[in-house]
Chain A
């Protein structure tokens, strides 16, 4: 069992993914033009406004978790300077992503509440001629790239560790030199983002949103299915390494983490939302309860996934 990085790192890896995923879902709805087919689009509103704060809270937790960084905060700036460290890349990506995500959220709010914008622009003359849509589009495109970077980064952070944690550096397939974690965490980021911005918020705000996008349950089921396949491959890949890698896979499936894995992740985060979405296809719509239930399930399972993977890390026996 890995005991250096506990719940707190799991929470900020999760928040990084959730914020990035929410941004990507909102951006997809924006860039496909779907956003403008309706007067009100809760998916973009929630996705764009929540991405910045969620990732910022994650970054704040990361700072709080630093031993000396809290006591002597100027040391945090050293973290921008060491480019051979994956963590330095992450600090850069987060520093760029957070303000752009806040900008997108602000511009989306201004689009929803044009009166507020008029007031602000009235007071600050320079903003009068600002092409709101175009600036927003820029923030969406630049932010999307950084959101993908953020989602991947949370996985690269632990996969770059190498021989010290065979589970974390496990390959997508035994022998294939593609690390699993960046892919798994990015897929999970998008999945949790969909859970939050579509299932949860859209269902609360506007039940018929689910009916607007015909293919949505299918896309969601595909994301859940992909996540299930990736976790299955992770277990296979780690197990095939033998030693500490196999021991980690055992911890997840039959050991200390088995309850968290089977209930917290598989049942709540994969099986339940999958079944609910399949049912929604049949019924033609989500009920608010099933939408909220699957949304909460997916988001909670995203946190469990990070925690299970961190806690199941086993260093090699010397």
Chain B
């Protein structure tokens, strides 16, 4: 049996949640239910994008001007996570509306306001204090609600185990001082990974310069994975 993300992530104590994991507290929910009634609650439930979220500690920036679409990142990810045939955490999209972009590798965007986390009925999907979105596969019931709710279509259903799975930023490598397998494997150096709280890091500088852009900022998800697109 292959290892699960949580097995690999080893010690959950290393991955503290940011405390806002449940989004809306029971008290707030009951209050809303009493005061606004069900319909008001229905309105409020529509993906409240303004939830205060802990600032992401890490950022991954994909340089679309360098990416050739060779698939090395995907291979490294598949190998590293021992993914079955036909399942991959990274997929390649067309260049969309941006004519200059050559290739668009898309994986979990580790959103600060993650729709998957909001809709998950068990709390299996959660966001760590460092802004990494993870799936606790001991809690996942496999309803696949998160899978349809992810606007980046970054979640995969593992039929073998009946749970949802996705990129977990190779958090074991990262916590050990390394970088995710896809970043390490990129032949063109098109993937940058680093800490945002270090202002001298390359990713922090790129983010500060405004050159690293969110994929579809209109979704209101505030991803930690960003894309460098030629101006």
A residues in contact (CB < 8 Å) with B = 2, 4-5, 65-71, 75-76, 78-79, 81-89, 91, 148-149, 152, 156-157, 159-165, 169, 177-179, 182, 313, 315-318
CB atoms of A88 and B215 under 8 A apart: no
Output the nearest chain B residue to A77 by Cβ-Cβ distance.
B122
Known: A67-B159, A89-B45, A160-B46. 10 other contacts (CB 8 A): A66-B143, A78-B123, A78-B141, A79-B141, A83-B22, A86-B45, A87-B143, A149-B38, A163-B115, A318-B153
Distance (whole angstroms) from the CB of A174 to the closest CB of chain B = 16
CB atoms of B47 and A78 under 8 A apart: no
In the complex, what residues of B have CB within 8 A of residue A71's CB?
Answer: 162
Distance, CA A85 to CA B150, complexed state (A): 14
In the complex, what residues of A have CB within 8 A of residue B152's CB?
Answer: 318
In the complex, what residues of B have CB within 8 A of residue A313's CB?
Answer: 148
In the complex, what residues of B have CB within 8 A of residue A82's CB?
Answer: 22, 120-123
Q: Which of B115, B123, B139 is in CB contact (< 8 Å) with A161?
A: B115
B residues in contact (CB < 8 Å) with A = 22-26, 29, 38-39, 41-43, 45-47, 93-94, 96, 104, 106, 115, 118-124, 137, 139-145, 147-153, 157-159, 161-164, 215-216, 218-221
Distance, CA A87 to CA B147, complexed state (A): 14
Q: Which of B106, B162, B216, B220 is in CB contact (< 8 Å) with A70?
A: B162
Output the nearest chain A residue to B144 by Cβ-Cβ distance.
A4
In the complex, what residues of A have CB within 8 A of residue B39's CB?
Answer: 152
CB atoms of B43 and A177 under 8 A apart: yes
CB atoms of A317 and B24 under 8 A apart: no
CB atoms of B151 and A160 under 8 A apart: no
Q: Which of A67, A84, A87 is in CB contact (< 8 Å) with B157?
A: A67
Distance, CA A313 to CA B148, complexed state (A): 9
CB atoms of A165 and B148 under 8 A apart: yes
In the complex, what residues of B have CB within 8 A of residue A318's CB?
Answer: 93, 96, 104, 106, 152-153, 215-216
In the complex, what residues of A have CB within 8 A of residue B25's CB?
Answer: 83
In the complex, what residues of B have CB within 8 A of residue A178's CB?
Answer: 43
Distance, CA A267 to CA B163, complexed state (A): 40
CB atoms of A179 and B96 under 8 A apart: no
Distance (whole angstroms) from the CB of A167 to the closest CB of chain B = 12
In the complex, what residues of B have CB within 8 A of residue A149's CB?
Answer: 38
In the complex, what residues of B have CB within 8 A of residue A179's CB?
Answer: 42-43, 46
Distance (whole angstroms) from the CB of B5 to the closest CB of chain A = 14
CB atoms of A83 and B143 under 8 A apart: no
CB atoms of B96 and A162 under 8 A apart: no
CB atoms of A85 and B120 under 8 A apart: yes
Distance, CA A159 to CA B46, complexed state (A): 7
Distance, CA A86 to CA B157, complexed state (A): 21
Distance, CA A275 to CA B145, complexed state (A): 39
CB atoms of B119 and A86 under 8 A apart: yes
Distance (whole angstroms) from the CB of B221 to the closest CB of chain A = 8
Q: Which of B141, B147, B216 is in CB contact (< 8 Å) with A68?
A: B141
Given known contacts A66-B141, A159-B46, A85 and B118 CB-to-CB distance under 8 angstroms: yes
Given known contacts A67-B163, A75-B122, A91-B121, A163 and B145 CB-to-CB distance under 8 angstroms: no
In the complex, what residues of A have CB within 8 A of residue B151's CB?
Answer: 162-164, 315-316
In the complex, what residues of B have CB within 8 A of residue A75's CB?
Answer: 122, 139-141
Distance (whole angstroms) from the CB of A241 to the closest CB of chain B = 12
Enumerate 28 A-B pairs (CB-CB under 8 Å) in ascending A order. A66-B141, A66-B142, A67-B143, A68-B163, A69-B141, A69-B142, A69-B162, A71-B162, A78-B124, A79-B143, A82-B120, A82-B122, A83-B26, A84-B24, A84-B118, A87-B121, A88-B121, A89-B45, A149-B38, A156-B45, A161-B149, A162-B47, A164-B150, A316-B151, A316-B216, A316-B219, A318-B93, A318-B216
